[in-house]
Amino acid sequence: MSVLDERTAAAVKDRDAWEEEAENWVRFARTQGHDAYWYYRDSFFDEIVPPPGRLTLEVGCGEGRVTRDLLSRGHRVVSVDGSMTLLQHALRSDPVRRYALADAGHLPLSSGSVEVAVAYNSLMDFDNLADAMAEIGRVVAADGVFCVCITHPMQYTGGFDGDELEAPYVLSRPYFGVRRFDETFTRNDITMRFRGWDRPMEEYFAALLEAGFVVDAFSEPRPSTDEGRYARWHRFPMFMFLRAIKRHTEDQVRGRDRSREIG
């Protein structure tokens, strides 16, 4: 698979929100130091992502910065996204060019073909988390891993009451429940509208378990700088990282037991 898969173009309809924001996202994501990615990515790659295996999948790759970072760390990567415009930007910036236009709920990969799957800040954008998780569970091989970064659900419940370093973090909205978010940010002439889903942690963990994963690493990372606007994110979590391992199915376990008996 080396080109955009036109057959999955129908799936892009649901991804209109990201398609509309695609050019804004390219500026947002590619302006060095503009967003939190630059201050959190090293700990994600160092602590959560395992060494390269046969094939690594990024789900929700956008314009491709995480994929490029995986490639530079030796991974053989195939990446999917629901936005054609973002994939075109990704294709133009990556000599390897293994991208597919697809919905996370319908991945164009065969079962068990992936050893490492990565979803960096994309799970909260998927309309149907359970479908996406089940698909990722299908394509990841037994003992393969799924590495995730998600906006920390605590962020949706409130915010800092003031600009100073020690400003209190005020919880003003309910934590439980699934709600649509729709927020627009402008900084340094870059405007970006984010639309997605606020979900409590238990939703993510339940979907992972249902898809056959067990969580083997979890962290609430601190930014790599304690300067400027990131200083106060040493007091409260902006993201959560986790790594989950795909369990063997009962049939696989039974097969293993039988081969032990025979051996």
User: Binder to ligand SAM among 45, 62, 145, 153 (CB under 6 A)?
Assistant: 62
Q: Rule CB under 6 A: which of 110-129 touch ligand SAM?
A: 120-122, 125-126
CB count, 10 Å around CB of 205? 15
Gap between the Cα atoms of 205 and 213, Å rounded: 9
Taking Cα atoms as reference points, which of 99, 117, 121 lies closest to residue 196?
A: 121
**Binding marks (x or -) toward ligand SAM, 11..30, rule CB under 6 A?**
----x--x----------x-
- Candidates 133, 141, 131, 132; CA nearest to 111 is 141
Closest CA to 207 of 136, 150, 104: 136
- CB of 21 or CB of 115, closer to ligand SAM: 21
Task: Count the alpha carbons within 13 Å of 256 in the hemisphere toward its beta carbon.
Answer: 7
Contact between 103 and ligand SAM by CB under 6 A: the answer reads: yes
The nearer residue to ligand SAM, 56 or 83, going by C-beta atoms, is 83
Distance CA 109, CA 131 (A): 15
Name the one range near ligand SAM by CB under 6 A: 81-89, 135-143, 239-247, 248-256. Answer: 81-89
Contact residues for 235 (Cβ-Cβ < 8 A; gap 6+)? 169
Please, which of residues 126-145 interact with ligand SAM by CB under 6 A? 126
- Closest distance to ligand SAM from the beta carbon of 260 (Å): 40
E-strand ranges in 11-64 read: 56-59
Selected binder of ligand SAM within 26, 48, 57, 61 (CB under 6 A): 61
CB of 102 to ligand SAM, least distance (A): 6
Query: Is residue 60 a contact point for ligand SAM (CB under 6 A)?
Result: yes
For binding to ligand SAM (CB under 6 A), which residues are involved? Answer: 15, 18, 29, 37, 60-62, 65-66, 81-83, 86, 103-104, 120-122, 125-126
